[in-house]
Amino acid sequence: MKSVKKSILLTLWYMTDSKEYASALVKEYPNSLETGVVLGKVMVMPAPFWYFVPREKIAQNIFWKFVDIAQKIWYNCNKCYTWR
CB neighbours of residue 54 within 10 Å: 14
User: Higher pLDDT residue, 51 or 23?
Assistant: 23
Q: Mark whether 22 and 9 lie in a shared domain.
A: yes
Q: Mark whether 4 and 34 lie in a shared domain.
A: yes
Please check the confidence at residue 31 and state whether its pLDDT lies above 90.
yes
Enclosing domain of residue 35: 1-53
Q: Mark whether 63 and 25 lie in a shared domain.
A: no
Q: Mark whether 5 and 37 lie in a shared domain.
A: yes
pTM score above 0.85: no
Q: Mark whether 16 and 46 lie in a shared domain.
A: yes
User: Higher pLDDT residue, 67 or 68?
Assistant: 68
Angle at Cα 14 formed by Cα 66 and Cα 5, nearest 5°? 135
